Amino acid sequence: MDWESSLPLLLFLSSFAPGLVIFFLEEEAHTTRTVLNLFGALLKLALLAIMVPGLLERKVYETRLPLLPEIDLVLRADSLSVLFIVLSASLWLVTTIYAIGYLEYSPNRSRFFGFFSLCVSSTMGIALAGNPLTFLIFYEMLTICTYPLVVHRGTPQAMHGGRVYLAYTLSGGVVLLIGVIGLYVLAGPVEFVDGGALDAIGAQSPEALRWLYPFFIVGFGVKAALVPLHGWLPRAMVAPAPVSALLHAVAVVKAGAFGIVRVIYDLYGINLAHALGLIDPLLIAAAITIVVGSLFALNQDDLKKRLAYSTVSQVSYIILGAATFGLFGAIGGLLHLVHQGVMKITLFFCAGNFAETLGIHKVSEMDGVGRRMPLTMAAFTIAALGMIGVPPTAGFISKWFLGVGSLQAQNDWVLGVLLTSSLLNAAYFLPILYRGWFKSQQGEWPEEHIYGRMETHWMLLFPPAVTGAFVLLLGLLANLPLGLLRWVEFLILLEYRL
């Protein structure tokens, strides 16, 4: 194995190996643990930086390990996986900083950071998976490694949340397993290919492919929180804030959405999926999820729960884009894969800061919080406006493309869905902003901690400030050469074989 073909494996190991070491560290080894965590995160970004120039020249980096007769364990960095990796690796770095600030002085740190690293490693595996079996292996590994994080606090609510989480995701995993193995039995060893890998089978036995499709969608839909498979997500909110950030923006929910994108683009291929009539039902499911998720979010007083239902709704924008036949919709969906991650992680960081600094968990307790924590509230505001889709934030760009795309695909009703959803987003985010900025504080904060002259610990403040700035930058500089939009356009042209 030469140096270049080992790069994808190194990308996986850069968080896996530190994770294993961290498990064996003493609780008191703060410095070693922090160094290991940051070393892994930075090494991962460095490896990416090495690969990006090659990827621009359409080089493919691939690691193959023999696993089963004719089926290898394939880790391959192609243009789609790099999109997901760049997102996860960068957000992981900020989340690690945040988690150190949030948890480094509470119990069971080695366990927490160990599983935290394993989660990110699994996400790398999912992003790099070059065939359905590899994808399945890391997808299940992610389920297993996230459980200890969800139940981290060990309280009865946490245990309940963890139980529900596993019940949903393991069942989803089984459904996916049936789909994957059915595919291998039908089509032999298949790998993900830009533009789709099943054309020959599609011509031969379209019925079988139609049969297998729901297994993939349901299997991934559980993690992507497609209504009615979303029940675990709000209950998993009992986890500490960095875990919520990980679940919603970096790893779990994203893995589900990414899986659906992979199946449509690189397994079936958008043209075949369209020809078999498979994308329209998905479009309807995504549209329902978008509206229903937002409706649920309206009534939540618990801030994190409101954000959780907002995720249910927002992740389906990605699926909506993938299920829209046409370039603009597809671009909008993939853009939202990144944009939603950056926006949602900002919101969760801020929610964590409110809880950690002032003891605020409910929307109704947020009156006047903008004066006490102006930077956090500013980041929250930018991200919330992004969720609504206000220009010039990142959220506006993806919604714009989705809107144009649905008109282009002659799905005019989808535009109505998008507008309704934006209205609903405004209806549940604007009251928070209003309370935070314009209402005055009512009595004492529930549980206030003072961190010197700053509004909160710097490790808690820095991450949302950075990601909040990115929400703006991704919107303002969208059209830059080498920017995200260019990359996504390049990718979609490959997927549509244009």
Partner 1 sequence: MIFETAFWLPIGIMAPLLAALCTFLAPQRMSPLVTMIGAGITFVAVGFLSASLVRNGPARHTVGGWGAPLGIDLAVDGLAALMLMLTAVVGAAVALYAYGYFNFSGHGEETKRRYASFWPLWLFLWSALNALFLSRDVFNLYVTLELVSFAAVALTALAGKPDVLRAAMRYLLVSLVGSLFYLMGVAYLYGEFGVLDIDQLKKTVTATPSLAAAAALMTVGLMMKTALFPLHFWLPPAHANAIAPVSALLSALVVKGSFYILLRAWLEIFYPLSHTGAPYLLTGLGGAAILWGSLQAIRQVRLKLLIAYSTVAQIGYLFLLTPLLFVKEQSPIALSGIVCFILAHAGAKAAAFLSAGAIQLVTGDDRISSLRGLMQMQPLAVVAFGAAGVSLAALPPSGGFIAKWFMLHAALAHGDRLVAAIIVVGGLLAAIYVMRVVAPLFRQPDDAVLHRLTLAPKTMTLTALGLAVLALLLSFAGIPVMEMLSIGAVGILGIE
Is 438 in contact with 369 (CB distance < 8 Å)?
no
Both tokens of 86, joined, read 């760049």
Closest to partner 1 by CB, 70 vs 412, is 70
Of 147, 170, 143, 144, the closest CA to residue 159 belongs to 147
> Cα–Cα distance between 385 and 395 in angstroms, integer?
8
Handedness of CA 226, 227, 231, 236 (dihedral sign): positive
Asked if residue 268 lies in contact with residue 399, where contact means CB atoms within 8 angstroms, the answer is: no
Separation CA 213–CA 179 (nearest Å): 7
29 lies in the binding site for partner 1 (CB under 8 A):
no
Phi-psi region of 188 (alpha: psi -120 to 50; beta: other; left: phi over 0): left
Q: Which is nearer to partner 1, 32 or 420 (CB)?
A: 32
- By residue count, the chain amounts to 498
Place of tokens 């089926």: 71
Q: How far is the CB of 68 from partner 1 (least distance, A)?
A: 4
Are 330 and 492 in contact by the 8 Å Cβ rule? The answer is: yes
x-marked contacts with partner 1 along 423-462 as a string, rule CB under 8 A = ----------------------------------------
Does 166 participate in binding partner 1 (rule CB under 8 A)? yes
Piece of 28-36, 42-50, 158-166, 287-295 that binds partner 1 (CB under 8 A): 158-166
Query: Using CB under 8 A, which of 107, 189, 374, 446 touches partner 1?
Result: 107
State both tokens at 305: 């729960």
Shortest Å distance, C-beta 159 to partner 1: 6
- CB of 26 or CB of 448, closer to partner 1: 26
**Site stretch for partner 1 (CB under 8 A), options 157-165, 314-322, 392-400, 484-492:** 157-165
State yes or no: residue 106 binds partner 1 (CB under 8 A): no
The reply on whether position 361 binds partner 1 by CB under 8 A is no
CB closer to partner 1, 139 vs 325: 139
Distance in angstroms (rounded) separating the CA atoms of residues 273 and 265: 8
Of 293, 182, 321, 322, nearest to 231 by C-alpha is 293
> CB of 8 within 8 A of CB of 61?
yes
Q: Which of 35, 46, 56, 185 binds partner 1 (CB under 8 A)?
A: 185
Nearer to partner 1, 136 or 382 (CB): 136
Minimal distance, residue 127 CB to partner 1, in Å: 17
| 151 binding partner 1? (CB under 8 A) | yes
Decide: 55 and 79 in contact? Cβ < 8 Å: yes
Q: Does 174 bind partner 1 (CB under 8 A)?
A: yes
CB of 65 to partner 1, least distance (A): 7
Pick the piece of the chain touching partner 1 (CB under 8 A) from 151-159, 194-202, 213-221, 409-417.
151-159
* Token output for 131: 């065939």
Give contact residues for partner 1 (rule: CB under 8 A): 23, 65-69, 107-108, 111, 133, 136-137, 140-141, 143-144, 148, 151, 153-155, 159, 162-163, 166, 170-171, 173-174, 177-178, 181-182, 184-185
